[in-house]
Each structure stands twice: as C-alpha cells, then as structure tokens.
Structure 1
Amino acid sequence: MPHPTPFRLPLTAALALLVAGCASTHGLEPQGSVLNADSLAASRSLANAQSDAGFPQHDWWQSLGDAQLDALIDEALAGTPSLDAADARVRQAIAQAGLAEAAGKPTLGATAQYTGVQIPETAAPPPFGGEYVDVTLLGLQFKYSPDIWGGHRARFQTALGLARAAEVDAQAARLTLSSNIARTYVVLAQAHEAADVANADAKRASQLLELGRQRVKAGLDNQLQIRNAETAVASAQQQELAARQQIDAARNALAALLGKGPDRGLDIARPALLRAAAPGVPGVVPSELLGHRPDVVAARWRVEAARHGIKASKAEFYPTVNLSALVGVAAGNPSDLFSGDSLLAMGGPAISLPIFDGGRLRNNLAKSDAEYDLAVANYNQSLVGALHEVADALQAARSLEAQVATTQRARESAQAAWQLASTRYKAGLGTQLDVLAAQRPLLQLEQQLAALNAQRLGAAIDLDRALGGGLELPAPASDNQDSNDLSKAPTP
C-alpha cells in the first residue's frame, strides 16, 4: 500500500484554507429594475393630440418662420463654449474607453538595464565576497493577461457605454442651446410688441391730458381729470421703458448664448412675425415617443454601463492568469552582449487568487450594485419626467391656442367699438373723449394677446424639445434588459 508523500497533507490543508478563505459574492445583488416606458399611462392625457404627424425635424426651429432666428441658431451650433465643453467630454470618454480596451491586450516593450552589486566579504567569502559584479541586459518583455472571466471586456463595455452617453449628452447640449435661443428670441419679439403697445398707450394718455387741460381751461372740468391723465401718461412711459429694458436684456442673452460679447446683440433686428404649428404628438407608444429624448437615451446607456460594471466586479473574484516572457541578451561585459552565450530567455504563467482582502472585493461589488441601482433610478425618473414634459407642453400649447383665439375675438370686438367711436366723433355724434376711452381696452387686449402669443410659441418650442428635437440617437440594442440579465455573469 503506497504511503502518502510528506507534501500531501500540507497541500491538502493549504487547499482547504484556500477554499475557505476565498471571497464570495453571496448575498450581493442589485435591487433596481428598469421601468417599461409603455407601462406609464398617458393615453388619456394625450387624447385627441396624437396624429400621423412625425417627430420634429432636426431643424425644427425653421417652422417658426424667421430667417434671422435660423441664422442665429446656425451661428450658435457652429461653436460655442458650452458645445466645446460637451465635445471635450465626448473625447475624454472615448479616450477612457480606449484605455479600457488597451488594458486587455498583450503588450510588448523593450528594456535596457544595467545592474551592479558589491558583495561584502562578511556576507560571502572570496571569490564572491569583495568583488563588484555588474550585468548589462537588453531584451524584449511580453505581458498578457487572458480575459478568461470576461472582466476586461466588461470594463471596456462599461467605458464604452459611458462614451455613448457622453455622445448623446453632446447632442442634448445642442438641443438645449437651440431651444434656449428660440425661447429668448420669442421674448425679444414680445418685448418689441409690448413697447409698441406702451408707446400707443402713452400717445393716448397724452391726448387725454391735452384734452383735459382744454376742458379745464374752458371751465368744463376740474383738476382731477388732469391729474388722472398725468398719472396715465407716466404709467405708459414707465411701461415703455420697461419694454425697452427687456429688449436690451433679450439681446444680451442671445449674444451670450452665441458665445459672443454684448455688442453682438445690438446687431439683432426686430423679429419677424413668428408662427406656431398646431400642437400634436406622433401616434406611437411611449417607449418610441421617449426613445427620441436625449436625456432618456443617455440614462439608458448609463444603465448599460453600470450593468457591465457589475460583471467586471464579479470577474475580480476569480483567479487571474498572467503570461509574461523576457527574451534578450545579458553579459557582464558590454562587448559580450551579442556573443553566442549571452542569450537570456525566461517566462511562464502566473496564477493569483484573492483569499483574504479585508472585504475589498465584496465592497467593490456592493458599490457596483449601488451604481447600477442609481443608474436605473435615474433612468426611470427620466422616463417619468420626459413623459410629463410632453404632456405639459402639449396641454399648455392646446390651452394657449384656445386662449389666443378667445382673446383675438375680444380684440376684434374692441377694435370694432373703437372704430365706431371714431366714426361717431367724425360725424359729430360723439366726443374725442369717447374715442380715447374706447381705445384703452383695445390696447390692453393687444398687450394681452402679445403675451399669450409669446407663451403659445414658447409651448411649441417646449413640445419640439420634449419630443427630442429631431435628434437621431444611438440607443442600446435592447431596452428591456434589467437586473435579471446580471444572472448571466459568473458568480463565485
């Protein structure tokens, strides 16, 4: 009967200790679950608004019908500091993905080394002690760590997902910039209209003041009418000054959005008559509706990146295999480096397995799980927020459209009343006071109509932005992957 070798018992004990001490992923799983966009009920809120109309065009702002606005947005999209920063973040993320990919590839490098050692006689007797020995080495060094457990690929996929998210963020920055310019341009148009109304009201108040002075001089009225008219004149002048200040502020804001100095705003002329299309959304399910949103798509890419991050963290629990080799020449005398006896070759595999790491691996995996849960929560919140933005913009546009129509009818009635008062005055059947009194509600309705038209245009801009602004965004291959997909990752 064969006897156990003297090394078998220690080896068995070492293996048992190795297995007992190996780090485990037991009990560590992400908790987040990706929300299905089609589960968000929105059919009643979007009722009577869904149609065969497509999504906004990439140049959606041209539907507003102002060539100057088109030129301003084209100028901004050609390059601003905000877009430069977004593009730099994309290049940074792509470079990071390249680093992650390179980490899993073999490396080959050249090495040159000179080493000398003086061995004391107290450490070794002659002929070794008391001698200075030197070695010169020239060689090629090869290193490679095979991706047996998929950790390298998972880290690359993580970095790639973040790079895709950064690319989408850069597109989102362009959409945000163009919509902010369009909204500020609408504010500029409203400010010009408010200045016109205020100017007309100031003229009306001045005529009232002059008429009041004439009546007082004729003994037909008292000083109260003059004081009231003076108050109306001052109020109208203040409103006109406020409108002029708003024009200046809007021009300055547009110049800043263009990445230019405030003098650029002085070159912006009065906007043309802007128009807004009838509100509506494509008749598609929420998942397709929201798939055009850059914030939703970017959040989905970050979920994918975090999912691969968990796989990378799990791969660290497995043994690591490293292959290395060194081939070169070595000699004590540099002149002997290329002699036949100077060849140096060494190499082989090395395997390492974490045993006791103080909880580093488990905490790292727990961190990856939490990052996944956070990415899922942000994605789910982006779905909810995006759908609400679509509904809010649609409902606002529809309501404002009705308000504009109602106010337009009221304005037409006020216009007819003012024309009637003017006709009666010319025929000697009324007074100039009647004409000026009838003009006041007309001017008030014109100011109200200008504000409502601006709000209606703003809602149309918000709706185009909420629908993705015509962007074509690269999305992950599947929008239905959730934490259950992580079961495909190996679990120690």
Structure 2
Amino acid sequence: MSLPSTRRLQAPLALALTLLVAACASTRGLEPEGRPLNSDSLAASRSLAGTSDAGFPQRDWWKAFGDAQLDGLIGEALAGTPSLDAADARVRQAIAQAGLADAAGKPTLGATALYSGVQIPETVARPPLGGDYLGVTLIGLQFSYSPDLWGGHRARTQAALGQARAAEVDAQAARLMLSSNIARAYVALAQAHDAAEVARADEQRASQLLDLGRQRVKAGLDNQLQIRNAETAVASAQQQEQAAQQQVDAARNAIAALLGQGPDRGLQIAKPALLSAPWPGVPAVVQSELLGHRPDVVAARWRVEAARHGIKASKAEFYPTVNLTALVGLAGGNLSDLFSSDALLASGGPAISLPIFDGGRLRNNLAKSDAEYDLAVANYNQALVGALREVADALQGARSLDAQIASASRARESAQAAWQLATARYKAGLGTQLDVLAAQRPLLQLEQQIAALRAQRLGTSIDLDRALGGGLEFAAPQSVAAQNTNDITQAPTP
C-alpha cells in the first residue's frame, strides 16, 4: 500500500477507535446503597446485663437439664432426620456450585476426533473440485484459557464460596433449631404430665367431697346443693385430666415427628423428670461475642461477603476479555494419511473481545448485583437486630419468671401451712373433713401454677441457649461493618 493511501486510512481508523472507546459500557452511577450495622452501635448493655458468671452454652447445652431421656432423644434426632438431610444436601449443592465457579476460570484441555465429508455438485464447481467426494479425518487436542485479567473469575469463585459457607452455617442452624424444638416439646410433655397428676388429685379431692356430701344429706345435715357442687367439681377435674392427656399425646407426637419417626415412637417416651431440674445460669453477653455464635447472623454475614464479590464479578464483565485457544492434531483424507509427516495440523492464538453495545445487559446485571448486596445487607442488619431482641427477651423473661416462681412458692407455702393446720384440727376433733378438703384445693391449684411457671422458665432457658448460638462457633468474615465501600469498587470504573 502506498504512503498516501495509508494516510487516507488514518482518519477513519482514529474515528473508529474514538467511537469504540466512547461506546464502551460504563458502570458510572451504579453503586450499592446498603450499609451493614455495627453491633456496637445498638445499645443493649443494660438489657443484656448478665445475672451470673456463667459462660456461653456448651455445644451439648441440653445436658445441663440433667435428663438422660432428653439427651437420648436429641442424640437420636441429630443422627439424621429429613430436615437435616435437606440442610446437608443444600451444603453439598453450594460446595459443588463453588467448584463450578472455580473450574470456569481454569485452563481446559480436551481431545477430539472428527470425520467430516462433503460432495460439491458440478453445478456449483467444475471438476476437479466439483463432482468428487472429499472426506477429512481429524484427531487432535484442544486447549482453551481465559486469563483472569480483572479478577472476575476469582470474584465469582469467592462469591460462590461465601454462599457455600453460609449453607454450612445454615446446616448447623438447622441442628440447633431441631435440638431446641425437641427440648421445647419435651418441656411441654413434662408440664402436661404434671397437669394430669394435679387433675387426678383434684378429682380425688372432689370425689371425697361428693361422698362426704352424700353422707351428710343422708344424715339430714345438708341438702342437695352440696352434692351438685361436688358433682360439678368431679366432672371439671375429669375434663382437666382428659385435656392434659390430650396434651401429653400431642407432645409425644410432636417429638416423634421431630425425630423423623411415626407417632408410635412417641408412645415409648416416659414421663420426663425435667421440671425439677435446675436451670442454667445466664452469662454476661457482649454483642461482638454474640455475633460469633449466632448461626443466622454469621450466615447473613457470609451472604453479604458473597454479594460483595458478586459486584466485583459484574464489574469485571465491563472490561476486555482475552481468550487463548490452540488446536494441535493430525488431519488427512484417509486414515492412513494421519500418520504421515504431512498430516500435522496446528492453529491457535489470542482473541480479544470488548463490549460496545449490549442493550444495557451489563448495566442491568451490575444493578442486579448491587440490589442483591443491598438485600444481603438488609437481611444481615435484620438478623443482628433480631438476635439481640431474642437474647433480651429470653433474659428478661427469665428474670420475670424467677420473680413469679418465688411469689408463687411463698403462696404455696402459706397454702401448705393452711392445709396442714386444717388436717391437724380435723385429727384433734376441732375441724371437719370439709375444712381439710377445702384447704387442699388452693394448694393443688398453686402446685399446678408453679409447674406451669417452671415449664415456662425452662422454656426461656432453652430460648436463651438457642439465642446465644447453642454453643456453636463459626468462622466468619472479619467485620462486615468495618468494610469500606471502596472495597466493593476496587476495580477501575470504565
């Protein structure tokens, strides 16, 4: 080409290059809006003040209740149930997805064997090309690699790993939830058994009143009103006993279902001795320490980390990509030709691609990644606030129930003293059996009330153990709140 013609091409080439650069997709104006909360910014020190020197729960926190049957039930459940199987399957799925993301950025090498033939009609090309059948046999190796110039492959891998870590934490959360649900149902079973016993004692008391009333009517000392009142009390006690038995059956069925078994498994569960067990102490809670134990908070943090890398991966798509390909093999018209010195086939080289016009696909993809990050941050913030609320609820509930149990216990002591006094007077001939039975009723009611309060108190202990993470500890991103927003946008902006 002559020099003048070269100069004539310089202007169009410069214009084409300018248009090429100007038309490149840009990330300008697209940034995430979410900001993770700092746990220290949430005032909770007064609400979460500890009431003892106890530490965080142990991994087998339920053993603190001292019930061997409960230990066995939770151990049986953790050995495998459908809910845990599903959680474990999600973990394997997430790990495989991370493996796929990692494999996408690595070189590939494959073997190929190809036979292709064509016959060009003479109406298209004259002989010797037309009219003859031409066949080609090819055997070779194909190599392909796209260097990670902008960190997009690495960011996608890190995002997938973050999701996998979140799934692993979710699997542990499922185990914590399962064990706490079994403990909760076990407490309900214990309370139902106690309620049934109180109802039977009340029925016995009412039956004695009924017998005594009939004797007094027969002796002409009383009228039918006392008999009807006693009959009403007997029927009411029987209804309470039947209701308590229904609660026993429901609690057994619930436990059997949590074990992944049929309702007959629940029939093997004996009466718990749980309500007489001491409850664990309440530790002093520090927010930063809490965040390393709560599986939902840690999983949410990993999802924020994954979304952060997702933004980096979306930004990397705005830059040129380089693909290196190579093919080395043997080709020939016949199989015998493949092994001749002239059959060697080799091709390869780099290919560079740059997005220019894409109809807004890249910008919308980045906007989607920004929104996913904002959603992950919002979920993390909500998990953090919810975690502190659950701990505060359990602590405050425990304190309130301790006070209620103390008040009810004092009332029971007074009722016990009144019943003993009525019994002593009856034995001394100074009182009647009616006085004894009348004094027994408030005593039974208070015993039922205290049993219910103790069940609620044990429930708050279970809630607190779960709210404190159930003795679990997780590896989590160092500090979501400390991450600078610029960390999300490390790649240069087009």
TM bin, normalised by shorter chain, reads over 0.9
Contact 2:40–2:288 (Cα < 8 Å) also in 1? yes
Question: Corresponding residue for 2:400?
Answer: 399
* Count of residue correspondences: 490
Displacement of 1:10 after TM fit?
A: 2.8
* CA-to-aligned-CA distance 1:134-159 (integer Å, 9 cap, x gap): 10000000000000000000000010
Q: How far apart, in 1, do the equivalents of 2:217 and 2:150 lie? A: 99
* CA-to-aligned-CA distance 1:446-487 (integer Å, 9 cap, x gap): 110010000000000000100000002121133322534213
Counterpart check, 1:135 vs 2:131: no
Structure 1, unaligned runs of 5 or more? none
Match of 1:29 among 16, 24, 31: 31
Displacement of 1:171 after TM fit?
A: 0.3
Question: Corresponding residue for 2:253?
Answer: 252
Where in structure 2 are the equivalents of 1:82-101 lying within 5 Å? 82-101=83-102
* CA-to-aligned-CA distance 1:349-370 (integer Å, 9 cap, x gap): 0000111100000000000000
Question: Corresponding residue for 1:483?
Answer: 485
Counterpart check, 1:336 vs 2:328: no
Q: Report the AA paired with residue 233 of structure 2.
A: A
Q: Report the AA paired with residue 46 of structure 1.
A: L
Counterpart check, 1:226 vs 2:224: no
Question: Corresponding residue for 2:203?
Answer: 202
Q: Report the AA paired with residue 433 of structure 1.
A: L
Counterpart check, 1:455 vs 2:446: no
Q: How far apart, in 2, do the equivalents of 1:51 and 1:473 lie? A: 25
- What is the RMSD of the two structures over their aligned residues, measured on CA atoms? 1.4
Q: How far apart, in 2, do the equivalents of 1:355 and 1:330 lie? A: 38
Question: Corresponding residue for 2:433?
Answer: 432
- Matched residue SS, 2:113: strand
- Matched residue SS, 1:449: helix
Structure 1 residues 161 and 273 mapped into 2: Cα distance closer, same or farther (>3 Å)? Answer: closer
Displacement of 1:279 after TM fit?
A: 4.4
Where in structure 2 are the equivalents of 1:264-275 lying within 5 Å? 264-274=265-275, 275=277
Q: How far apart, in 2, do the equivalents of 1:490 and 1:291 lie? A: 34
Where in structure 2 are the equivalents of 1:11-410 lying within 5 Å? 11-47=13-49, 49=50, 51-274=52-275, 275-277=277-279, 279-284=281-286, 286-410=287-411
Displacement of 1:283 after TM fit?
A: 4.6
Contact 1:76–1:257 (Cα < 8 Å) also in 2? yes
Displacement of 1:132 after TM fit?
A: 1.4
Return the TM-score normalized by structure 1: 0.97
Structure 1 residues 414 and 243 mapped into 2: Cα distance closer, same or farther (>3 Å)? Answer: same
* CA-to-aligned-CA distance 1:65-94 (integer Å, 9 cap, x gap): 101100111111011110010000000000
Structure 1 residues 247 and 440 mapped into 2: Cα distance closer, same or farther (>3 Å)? Answer: same
Q: How far apart, in 2, do the equivalents of 1:105 and 1:38 lie? A: 42
Structure 1 residues 182 and 366 mapped into 2: Cα distance closer, same or farther (>3 Å)? Answer: same
Contact 1:106–1:144 (Cα < 8 Å) also in 2? yes
Q: How far apart, in 2, do the equivalents of 1:375 and 1:115 lie? A: 52
- Matched residue SS, 1:349: strand
Q: How far apart, in 2, do the equivalents of 1:430 and 1:436 lie? A: 11
Contact 2:52–2:281 (Cα < 8 Å) also in 1? no
Percent identity reads 80
Contact 1:32–1:483 (Cα < 8 Å) also in 2? no
Displacement of 1:45 after TM fit?
A: 1.2
Structure 2, unaligned runs of 5 or more? none
Q: Report the AA paired with residue 23 of structure 1.
A: A
Contact 1:50–1:283 (Cα < 8 Å) also in 2? no
- Matched residue SS, 1:281: coil
Contact 2:150–2:491 (Cα < 8 Å) also in 1? no
Displacement of 1:16 after TM fit?
A: 1.6
* CA-to-aligned-CA distance 1:423-455 (integer Å, 9 cap, x gap): 100110000000000000001001100100000
Question: Corresponding residue for 1:8?
Answer: 10
Q: Report the AA paired with residue 217 of structure 1.
A: K
Q: How far apart, in 2, do the equivalents of 1:52 and 1:64 lie? A: 18
Q: How far apart, in 2, do the equivalents of 1:279 and 1:294 lie? A: 22
